[in-house]
Each structure stands twice: as C-alpha cells, then as structure tokens.
C-alpha cells in the first residue's frame, strides 16, 4: 500500500514540499490541506498594498493546479492534529489519516498591542494588503503623518523596511512627500538589525537610506498602543512617548497556529506554540511529523533589549522543504541518510526604483560570509524572481537544475546538506 503524506499549508513551504515529494517519488499519495483556495506570492504583498500588483497576477488557484501533478487538494482549514492516531481533523469535520505529516501552515498573526488590529494596516496576507491599499488612498487624498514599524517579538522585519521605502517612493511620485512626515518605530536595537544581529554593514546602509529619504527612526521601542491619530511607545529609558499618526502599518508578532497547539506540548513550543523540530526539521517526539517554514521554532540569533525573533526567508523555507522531502523518502526506503537545510538568509527589500539585497550564511553567527548590495539592478532582480517563482508554481518545477547552479554561483550556497548528527536506524533523529 502506498504511503500517504499530508501537507498542511498552501504557501511557499507547503507547495515546495509537495512538489519535491512528487519529484522524488511517483508512488506516494500526497494530500495538501489549506484554508485558502490559492497560492499567494507573499513577497509581493507589499506591492499589492501599494497598488503596484493585481491580486490575480501574484496568486495561483490550487483547485485546478495540484491535481495536474497527482496531488490531492482539500480546501478546508486544518483544526487539530492527533499525533498518536496519525490523524488530522479539519474545521468541516473531515478526518484525514497520514503516514507522514508536514506542517507548513505559516504562523498565527498576533495583534496584541492595544488598537493594533483596529487601527494599524497590515501586509501579511493578500486580504490585509488589499485593505491597506484602500487606507493608502485615503492618505493620498488627505496627507498626514505616517508611522511604520514592528512591535516587540516581531521576527519578520524586511517587509516593514520595504513598505516604508516603497511608500516614500509613491509619495514622491504623487508630489505629496513634503506633506507626510514619516517615522519608523522598531523593536530592533538598531536599524538594519533585521532580527539577524545585522548583516555586514546593514546598520550603516539603513541609517544612510533613512537620512537620504528623510525618515525619522526610533529603535529599542516597545509599542504600547496604536490609536486613530497617534502611536504610544516606551523608549529605551522606559519613558512613555507619543507620535502623531494619520496612517500606521506595524508588523504583528507571530505564534504557532491552534492546529499545532492541539497536538500537545510535544509538538508545540510552550512559549510561542511554534512546532518543535530538530535541525533536520523533524519533531523529536513524533518522527513522522515534520515542519517547514515560519511555523517552526528557531531560537533568536541573539538576545536584544526588546524581544526580537529570527526571520525565515523564502530561500530558507525552500531549503527546509527540500530537506524534509528527502528525509521522508529516505525514511520510507530505509535509508539512514538524513538531510538538514542550510539556514542562510536571503532578503531583497524593494524601494520602488532601487532595492537592497542582504544575504547571511549561516543565519546564526559566526558566519562564513555576508553580502549587502543596493541598486536599480536589485529592483529588477526581485521583479524577475517574482515572475520566475510564479512560473515554478504553475509548472510544478519547484527546484530546477539551473536554479541550484545559479544560487551556487551567486552565493556559494546549497539548499541542503547531509546531517552528520543523525545516526542509528531509519527513523532516528538528531
């Protein structure tokens, strides 16, 4: 009887894992469960919010796509996991039995600052981005102060930087930049920290960019409340401060979703409910459960005065997906080899006409190397990659040979490596 792999989540991590599994084995039964009927290219959501992309251009319907590659699609929200009985239950009451489970749901967005969900815009989902686009139109009609940033506990800082730079570019184009004071408020100890402890000269680069674009920045800030016309925060001295704001966009904190927490403390990290995994992204308690993407628990790169998390970039997530698919197939074929993803961060922050490029290998210092670049060519590189990645999703060609080689030539980086810490019989773990 063919083994059944169930993948929870239809984002970058879920689709990459399902496609890798299909590429490695034609005999597997693969079921992908997602509450959204489409794949959305998350890095383009800031562009959607700015009105620079259309929803249909950065999304792909899954109902007609996945069956073409022999992948069953269940458009329902996964509600609970019973790891002892190897079952997933959906909000519709459907029970799906699995031999292997891959959790790639993405995070739960936590809007726990007073007034954040009511008054602050967001770019974390396509729906949020479309609502932000509407709010921006109001700002363009009646210009006023803007505050953008990240609350304590945020791990994904790149989109906040990207959004504030793109918004400034749009305001200049519309001839109203001089009417809009812009402030960046972040929990990072310095601008350019990015949750990574900095990437080479990223601090100097960001400070220069903020100065060039006349953006005031405030670091080590604990945002206390977000109102209709102001943001209240606690500064590094513990004093409460206030900034006027007509429009705000703050990145929310991430937690593990309820479906992970439903599996108990052996699955969910008690602190943030993220999925507990080892370096091969296998759950230590249940060897047939793996995690891919933002839903996995990775410790912070370093302690900071105000809590910050470690980002999981698209390159990291694709590496996780490749490693997990290899490990599942090897486990089924009784191979002792286990693979771990190379956790190197690659981030491109668009700024309208130009963009900034950051790469750190590995994510956790000490690092073998870092790269930071800025220029018009980086902007076009991001645009080209967006079109290329959407082609990959539509064609099912998630990791073609030439992409591997291009990545190695550009960054001297591979997606996965053989894990030397795993030993023993198949099914053993780090």
**Alpha carbon distance 199, 268 (integer Å):** 30
The CATH number for 277's domain is 3.50.50.100
Residue 426 located in a structural domain: no
pLDDT of residue 425: 44
Residue 227 located in a structural domain: yes
Share of the chain above pLDDT 70, in %: 94
Determine whether 347 is an active site residue.
yes
Per-residue pLDDT at 426 exceeds 80 = no
Structural domain count, the chain: 2
User: Cα-flanking dihedrals φ and ψ of residue 263, to 5°?
Assistant: -80, -5
Out of 203, 232, 253, a domain closes at 253
Collect all residues with Cβ–Cβ distance below 8 Å to 301 and sequence separation of at least 6.
195, 196, 197, 310, 363, 364, 365
Task: Report the first-to-last Cα separation within the chain, whole angstroms.
Answer: 29
Of residues 55 and 368, which shows the higher confidence score?
55
**Active-site residue among 168, 347, 419, 422?**
347
Range of the domain at 267: 4-106+256-419
Residue 32 located in a structural domain: yes
| Token pair belonging to 395 | 């064609």
Q: Return the HEC string of the chain.
A: CCCEEEEECCCHHHHHHHHHHHHHCCCCEEEEECCCCEEECHHHHHHHHHCCCCHHHCEEECCCCHHHHCEEEECCCEEEEECCCCEEEECCCCEEECCEEEECCCCEEECCCECHHHHCECCCCHHHHHHHHHHHHHHHHCCCCEEEEECCCCCCCHHHHHHHHHHHHHHHHCCCHHHCCEEEECCCCCCCCCCCCCCCCHHHHHHHHHHHCCEEEECCCEEEEECCCEEEEECCCCCEEEEECCEEEEECEEECCHHHHCCCCCCECCCCCCECCCCCCECCCCCCEEECCCCECCCCCCCCCCCCCCCCCHHHHHHHHHHHHHHHHHHHCCCCCCEEECCCEEEEEECCCCEEEEEEECCCCCCCEEEEEEEHHHHHHHHHHHHHHHHHHHHCCCCCHHHHHHHHHHHCCCCEEECCCCCCCCCCCC
Verify that 279 and 191 share a domain, yes or no.
no
| Token pair belonging to 340 | 């771990």
Residue 64 located in a structural domain: yes
Cα distances (angstroms) measured from residue 224 to each of 112, 153, 157, 227: 10, 13, 18, 10
Could you read off the pLDDT of 64-92 as tens digits, one per residue?
999 999 999 999 999 999 999 999 999 99
Per-residue pLDDT at 302 exceeds 50 = yes
Torsion-angle region of 153 (φ positive above 0: left; ψ -120 to 50: alpha; else: beta): left
Out of 237, 253, 269, a domain closes at 253
**Alpha carbon distance 125, 139 (integer Å):** 21
Could you read off the pLDDT of 195-206 as tens digits, one per residue?
999 999 999 999
Per-residue pLDDT at 427 exceeds 50 = no
Of residues 139 and 411, which shows the higher confidence score?
139
**Alpha carbon distance 278, 281 (integer Å):** 5
Cα distances (angstroms) measured from residue 91 to each of 14, 98, 314: 19, 17, 28
Verify that 95 and 130 share a domain, yes or no.
no
Residue 428 located in a structural domain: no
Verify that 262 and 190 share a domain, yes or no.
no
The whole-chain average pLDDT of the chain stands at 93
Verify that 194 and 313 share a domain, yes or no.
no
| Token pair belonging to 117 | 């969900």
CA 101, 347, 125, 183 torsion: positive or negative? positive
Verify that 273 and 249 share a domain, yes or no.
no
Mean pLDDT, rounded, for 32-36: 98
Exposed/middle/buried for 345, CB within 10 Å: 0-12, 13-18, 19+?
buried
Share of the chain above pLDDT 90, in %: 84
Determine whether 168 is an active site residue.
no
CB 30 within 8 A of CB 17: no
The CATH number for 131's domain is 3.50.50.60
Verify that 169 and 242 share a domain, yes or no.
yes
Of residues 178 and 396, which shows the higher confidence score?
178
Residue 269 located in a structural domain: yes
Exposed/middle/buried for 265, CB within 10 Å: 0-12, 13-18, 19+?
exposed
Ranking 338-352, 370-384, 386-400, 411-425 by mean pLDDT, the lowest is: 411-425
Out of 204, 222, 253, a domain closes at 253
**Active-site residue among 156, 168, 280, 419?**
156
Verify that 240 and 372 share a domain, yes or no.
no
Verify that 217 and 241 share a domain, yes or no.
yes
Verify that 212 and 237 share a domain, yes or no.
yes
Verify that 285 and 367 share a domain, yes or no.
yes
Verify that 369 and 244 share a domain, yes or no.
no
CB 357 within 8 A of CB 373: yes
Collect all residues with Cβ–Cβ distance below 8 Å to 232 and sequence separation of at least 6.
223, 224, 225, 226, 240, 241, 242
Could you read off the pLDDT of 211-266 as tens digits, one per residue?
999 999 999 999 999 999 999 999 999 999 999 999 999 999 999 999 999 999 99
Q: Which pLDDT band, with edges at 50, 70 and 90, does 411 fall under?
A: low
Residue 424 located in a structural domain: no
Mean pLDDT, rounded, for 343-364: 91
Could you read off the pLDDT of 265-298 as tens digits, one per residue?
999 999 899 999 999 999 999 999 999 999 999 8
Verify that 71 and 115 share a domain, yes or no.
no
Mean pLDDT, rounded, for 417-429: 62
Residue 323 located in a structural domain: yes
Could you read off the pLDDT of 96-135 as tens digits, one per residue?
999 999 999 999 999 999 999 999 999 999 999 999 999 9
Other residues' Cβ atoms within 10 Å of the Cβ of residue 417:
12
């Amino acid at each position: 009887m063919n083994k059944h792999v169930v993948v929870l989540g239809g984002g970058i991590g879920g689709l990459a894992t399902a496609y890798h599994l299909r590429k490695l084995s034609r005999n597997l039964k693969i079921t992908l469960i997602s509450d959204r009927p489409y794949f959305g290219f998350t890095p383009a959501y800031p562009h959607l919010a700015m009105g620079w992309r259309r929803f249909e251009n950065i999304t792909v319907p899954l109902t007609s796509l996945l069956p073409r590659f022999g992948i069953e699609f269940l458009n329902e929200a996964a509600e609970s996991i019973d790891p002892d009985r190897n079952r997933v239950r959906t909000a519709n009451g459907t029970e799906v039995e699995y031999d292997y489970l891959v959790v790639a749901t993405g995070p739960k967005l936590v809007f726990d600052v007073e007034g954040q969900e009511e008054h602050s815009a967001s770019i974390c989902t396509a729906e949020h981005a479309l609502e932000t686009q509407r709010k921006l139109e109001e700002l363009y009609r009646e210009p006023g102060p803007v505050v953008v940033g990240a609350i304590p506990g945020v791990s994904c800082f790149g989109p906040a930087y990207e959004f504030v730079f793109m918004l400034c570019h749009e305001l200049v184009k519309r001839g109203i930049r001089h009417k809009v004071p812009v402030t960046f408020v972040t929990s990072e100890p310095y601008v350019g920290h990015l949750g990574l402890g900095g990437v080479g000269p990223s601090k100097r680069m960001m400070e220069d960019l903020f100065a060039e674009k006349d953006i005031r920045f405030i670091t080590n800030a604990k945002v206390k409340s977000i109102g209709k016309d102001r943001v209240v925060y606690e500064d590094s001295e513990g004093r409460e401060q206030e900034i006027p704001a007509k429009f705000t966009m703050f990145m929310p904190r991430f937690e593990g979703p309820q479906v992970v927490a439903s599996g108990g403390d052996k699955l969910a990290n008690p602190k943030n409910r993220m999925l507990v995994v080892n370096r091969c992204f296998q759950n230590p308690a249940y060897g047939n459960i793996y995690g891919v993407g933002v839903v996995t628990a990775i410790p912070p790169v370093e302690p900071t005065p105000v809590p910050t998390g470690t980002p999981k970039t698209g390159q990291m997530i694709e590496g996780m997906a490749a490693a997990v698919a290899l490990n599942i197939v090897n486990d089924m074929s009784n191979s002792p080899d286990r693979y771990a993803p190379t956790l190197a961060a690659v981030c491109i922050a668009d700024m309208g006409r130009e963009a900034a490029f950051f790469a750190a290998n590995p994510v956790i210092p000490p690092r073998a190397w870092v790269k930071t670049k800025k220029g018009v060519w980086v902007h076009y590189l991001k645009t080209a990659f967006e079109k290329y990645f959407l082609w990959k999703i539509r064609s099912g060609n998630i990791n073609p040979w030439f992409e591997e080689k291009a990545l190695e030539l550009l960054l001297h980086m591979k997606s996965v490596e053989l894990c030397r810490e795993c030993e023993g019989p198949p099914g053993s773990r780090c």
